[in-house]
Chains A and B, each alone.
Chain A
Amino acid sequence: MYDVAIIGAGIIGSFISRELSKYDLKTVLIEKDNDVSNGTTKANSAIIHAGYDAFYKTNKGKFNALGNPMFDKVCKELDVAFKRIGSYVLAYSEKEIETLKRLLENGEKLGIPDIKIIDGDEIRKREPKLSDEIVAGLYAKTAGIVGPFELCIALCENAVENGTKLLLNYEVSNIEKNENRFIISSNEKSIEAKYVINCAGVYADKINNMVNKPKFKITPRRGEYYLLDKRTNGLVNSIIFNCPTKMGKGVLVTPTVHGNILIGPNSEDISSKEENKTTFSGLEFVKESASKSVKNIPFNEVITTFSGLRAEATGGDFIIEKSDTKGFINVAGIKSPGLSASPAIAKYIVKIIKDLNEGLKENKDFNPIRKKIVKFSELKDEEKKELIKKDKRYGRIICRCENITEGEIVDVINRLVGARTVDGVKRRARPGMGRCQGGFCSPRVVEILARELGKRVEDIVKSNKESYIITKETKGNIDYNK
């Protein structure tokens, strides 16, 4: 029997499992998909918000404010890229300046450091591509960008290294409480745990309803994005928001940690929890809104578009609490700024678990440091030479757009919480993230995955179980003159 079962290996579940791995607990992290970070955590704006935005009395406000300063340390320990590049919320009118003032005041109540309102000219001096119409902006120095799926994967890897059990392909279909333990089943299989932490993203209502009365409902709220080629690097150097509205923080333009430009999201309530598609109208809206803040965005440099689903819970705030059933904790409705809040949410959950377990001991063997990921293209020539001497596979470039070597791909397959799918490799080592979107390298990645995993090429999938790439072997010789 486990002490703690965490349902959902998104950023929230992963962060909690890593924090709990610091203690002497038997923890299992359960995920329905064949990889971690396959839900909302893989598709969002990747901003670590400074924290002035959400109302100071809400969980969103409190946890964001606490979470932001925690990123430097954890990202360093786990070798995940994180950059504090600062953000601007732009105002185009007197009325919008009032909104900025409200945000500033809210931020001050939350104790957010280094926020101030500056005038339009000063903003344009710092970000020359911004619109001439801007009259003022709220600058927040501590806002940052991170690789959300890299962070989530790194957290899982570190948790597993420190003793957490990761259970993939395990879709929780039923939970029963039996005296002091929960029986958590998926089809015929089941496991037992003393405590359950529900971090199931857009499905958190479904999981809650397995043990509790339906107290909240999660509505998926879709947001769509454009990603631009690295050639556009420098279009903006900080995070650029339009003024917020009721539906959210509005469309932003930001660099990513890898040097692309990300533009989005729109905001649309939908009925299906699986419809993370892009739409013509959604993307047109994003284009229009972004063009308001940044001049001449090169939309001909788009390399991909995607969308993510926010888990919008009844009431609109994060639900982070012990539920009516003792030992069952909900971490639900974690929409934006969920990523930014995640370290603080994890700390808070640890506190709850500690309260439930008097005398809980620390895990003496806890190792906070994750083995470094080799980023070949960032090494110096001398280091590259050394590495190739040791392992020839670092001398073979597989992804020609991002210059990713075979050595790096093999490494991410063979690590703890290693990649099992083409998308898994892509999220960990980035082949296929570049401008050709895997056109050249995907056949090679499939081949390497099959070889390293001892599988048939036909059995390698893009992402989930049914996302097969290849149907069969070809017939061979074809006569064209027939």
Chain B
Amino acid sequence: MLASYLPDTDLEVLLDPDASAWRAGASETLPLTGTPLGMQPTAAIRASWIDRRIGAVDEVRVAALHNGQGLAFRLEWEDASENNDLDDNTSFPDAAAIALPANEDSPIIVMGKPGAAVNAWHWRADAPSQAREISAEGLGTTAPVPGSGIRAHGVWKDGRWRVVIGRELESAGGPMAAQLRPGTQTGFGVAIWEGSNQERAGIKAFSGDWQILSIEATGGAGGGRK
């Protein structure tokens, strides 16, 4: 997938999932699958999900744009129910995340390993205009990335979520965060949690192994790909 370069477009503008820039750009549909039961980190989770479907959302439409300083992903998926509250102990919000490798060895399936973190940009429907940037060096080890400038905006309408998540290409988060540069390629992944199915933590639909994202060069012909 290509993250097209769109000079002079403020990241703030791109945070609107209906911005005209998104309509013009290319997008791609990624099939999603539920995380395997055997990968759930605790026996209690495995016992309670053994007969339940994991990963209620089948596919997500993804697009990405950057302006030389910041990169934004736009996610759109079908969801008949908007789950955005914690009105009961049994209510879980819809959520989405973009995963990026902090390092070329970072394994996505197990959310990183020591010394090779997976960086995630995480959005949740109970705070639809906020995001959290986290990094993990293995399942269950996620911690917030300090100093993150991550932002997001999500809108649910007519049975669809449209969510934009973005931040600066260069993160203040250091080696635990993905440091991105125009004219290079990186891996990325998408995860969607369906609140009405009580999905949270490792119970989610995800896009499998790393997908390729090419971040378009900013400097004409000279900005070649890695």
Determine if chain A interacts with chain B.
Answer: no
Residues of B at the A interface (CB closer than 8 Å) are none
Residues of A at the B interface (CB closer than 8 Å) are none
